[in-house]
Structure 1
Amino acid sequence: MTDTRYLLELAESAALEAGQAIMKVYRSGEFSAMIKPDKSPVTKADRNSQAILLERLGKTNLPIISEEGADIEFGKRKFWEYYWLIDPLDGTKEFISGNGEFTVNIALVRRDMPAGGVIYLPCTDAMYTGSKETGVYKREKGKLTVFPPRAERNRLENLLERRRITVAVSRSHLSADTKIFVSRFQHATLRPAGSSMKFMMLLENRADIYPRMGTTMEWDTAAGHAILNASNRGVYQQDMGSELRYNKPDLRNPYFIAM
């Protein structure tokens, strides 16, 4: 039996420490980045956050998949019951640009679905946590906000019928396919944001839907997915037939719609 509450408390502490390390680099203005083989940037802040998360979460003896260490063979990890799925610095491009829209993402995954999530925004000191066992809440500068679950989930057909809708979109990766999807709505107001902040815009009712028709990885979505699920929201595959799944042979996500 896994104690989700205890594990998420540990994840919160780890995210806070990692966020402090990120902010130390951020305030120094040392934004130089190396380009990884997949053409994405990695900075000193990514590496420092990674080291802290691996050390802190490693004490739980649960396996870890991370953006900066995603080379574990599927033949080994497919048997995992519980594991951590982490992004030490989600929104590296936002970090480098200096706009503050970056996060630390930690998800506790059971088999192929996220069981709990922690998202920390270092620049605003906002910590979002969610699971079925703990409920969903946000701590920001000493204030606690609890998010009761929705009475029922939104349906895409209902959103398409609304005259006006607010759509969360990626600040750095707004694809042509996403624009085509958004054009289906009568009047859509786009609200750009970086990193997993877009999932939390749904949680706080600052956006109605977040479509992502572009490449993302499992560590980009798992923490936000867990929090949204615990609030009776979902992150669905493009056909709306099922939700995203995790620990796949290929860790890339298909196109998805969160709402």
Structure 2
Amino acid sequence: MDYDRLAVEMRRLALEAGDAIMAIYDADDFEVRTKSDDSPVTAADEAADALISAGLRAAFPDVTLVTEEQADSHSARAETFLIVDPLDGTKEFVKRRGDFTVNIAFVENGIPVRGVVYAPARGRMFYTDSAGVSVEEDGPFDRGAAGPTRPISVSEPDNSALMVVASKSHRDQATDDYIGKYAVRDMTSAGSSLKFCLVATGEADLYPRLGRTMEWDTAAGHAVLAGAGGTVVRFDDHSPLSYGKPGFENPFFIAYAPGVKLLGA
């Protein structure tokens, strides 16, 4: 893979998709439909997916592409592939809460090694550069040339006073019970893959997810977190979370800064 080109294309396509999403988000009204798995989908999901898919296929025609909005791609079996969630956090989008993201990632040998997470309504963009180091770019954003960037890094956690981030739309008692095992200084909530990015920037130390997710939900955030020194492991045995699984469904997982002393279930 040409990582220099990959970084440029992923960033550009995320921005283009973000513009398409915001054009619909800022409209007076938009239609919300329900997919076969009962999850919502809007014209914004579809417009962003069309832009990103066309761009990736043109730039990297020999690389397998998996995207949430194209069911025929979900039967792909590969250890190295591009994976896209064109609008992660559709529930946040529909409620106009702003915590939705564009997610594009490159998985190599089962590991997310490059990714971009763009939150257009929040004006925040995180990505791995050509060397795999995670940065946050300061807006306003120009599709043609990257603006000033700052390397991001996970925290050095104080295990007697952890900062925890959890889901806005998928919080449940099991998650609260697990978080309750830790000495928590404070908690915050965020939608979509922004939770990974808050750990990547040191704004949170720990993000446990005891709920259903798919690889396209997590790959870009996982790559950004890894490029900032963070780790994502399975909840059950704390082994690394891998990608390219049949059906692309994840087990429960924990994303964290390595200084956190993980506890069992």
**Same fold? TM cut 0.5:** yes
Once the two structures are aligned, what percentage of the paired residues are identical? 37
CA separation of 1:137 and 1:187: change in aligned 2, threshold 3 A: closer
Mark the runs of 5 or more structure 1 residues left unpaired by the alignment: none
- Shift of residue 31, structure 1, vs aligned partner: 3.5
Q: Which amino acid aligns with 2:67?
A: S
- Shift of residue 187, structure 1, vs aligned partner: 3.3
Work out the CA distance in 2 between the residues paired with 1:174 and 1:96: 18
Is 1:193 paired with 2:190? yes
Q: For the Cα contact (< 8 Å) 2:67–2:74, is it kept in 1?
A: no
Q: For the Cα contact (< 8 Å) 1:124–1:140, is it kept in 2?
A: no
Q: Which amino acid aligns with 2:251?
A: P
Work out the CA distance in 1 between the residues paired with 2:130 and 2:235: 25
- Shift of residue 82, structure 1, vs aligned partner: 3.0
Is 1:146 paired with 2:150? yes
- Shift of residue 30, structure 1, vs aligned partner: 2.6
Q: For the Cα contact (< 8 Å) 1:115–1:131, is it kept in 2?
A: no
- Shift of residue 228, structure 1, vs aligned partner: 1.2
Q: For the Cα contact (< 8 Å) 2:206–2:255, is it kept in 1?
A: yes
- Shift of residue 195, structure 1, vs aligned partner: 0.6
RMSD in angstroms over aligned alpha carbons? 2.0
What are the within-5 Å matches in structure 2 for residues 158-177 of structure 1? 162-177=159-174
Work out the CA distance in 2 between the residues paired with 1:30 and 1:199: 30
Stretches (4+) displaced over 6 A: none
User: Deviation digits for residues 44-96 of structure 1, max 9, x if unmatched?
Assistant: 1001101101111111112211111143364xx33x35321000000000000
Work out the CA distance in 1 between the residues paired with 2:114 and 2:49: 19
User: Deviation digits for residues 78-121 of structure 1, max 9, x if unmatched?
Assistant: 3x353210000000000000111100000011131112001111
Q: Which amino acid aligns with 1:45?
A: A
Task: State the match for 1:237 in structure 2.
Answer: 234
User: Deviation digits for residues 22-43 of structure 1, max 9, x if unmatched?
Assistant: 0000000333211111110000
Q: Which amino acid aligns with 2:36?
A: P
Mark the runs of 5 or more structure 2 residues left unpaired by the alignment: 141-146, 257-265
Task: State the match for 2:217 in structure 1.
Answer: 220
Work out the CA distance in 1 between the residues paired with 2:27 and 2:194: 23
Work out the CA distance in 1 between the residues paired with 2:228 and 2:237: 18
CA separation of 1:149 and 1:125: change in aligned 2, threshold 3 A: closer
Q: Which amino acid aligns with 2:126?
A: Y
Instruction: Report how many residues are paired.
Output: 248
- Shift of residue 146, structure 1, vs aligned partner: 2.3
Work out the CA distance in 2 between the residues paired with 1:231 and 1:9: 19
Q: For the Cα contact (< 8 Å) 1:131–1:226, is it kept in 2?
A: no
Q: Which amino acid aligns with 1:137?
A: V
Work out the CA distance in 2 between the residues paired with 1:165 and 1:241: 19
Task: State the match for 2:112 in structure 1.
Answer: 114
Normalised by the size of structure 1, how large is the TM-score? Answer: 0.89
What are the within-5 Å matches in structure 2 for residues 68-83 of structure 1? 68-72=69-73, 74=75, 77-78=76-77, 80=78, 82-83=80-81
CA separation of 1:257 and 1:7: change in aligned 2, threshold 3 A: same
Q: Which amino acid aligns with 1:128?
A: F
Task: State the match for 1:135 in structure 2.
Answer: 133
Work out the CA distance in 1 between the residues paired with 2:245 and 2:182: 32
SS in 2 for 1:184: coil
Normalised by the size of structure 2, how large is the TM-score? Answer: 0.87
Q: For the Cα contact (< 8 Å) 1:237–1:243, is it kept in 2?
A: yes
Task: State the match for 1:183 in structure 2.
Answer: 180
Work out the CA distance in 2 between the residues paired with 1:66 and 1:117: 14
Is 1:95 paired with 2:93? yes
Task: State the match for 1:30 in structure 2.
Answer: 29
- Shift of residue 135, structure 1, vs aligned partner: 1.4
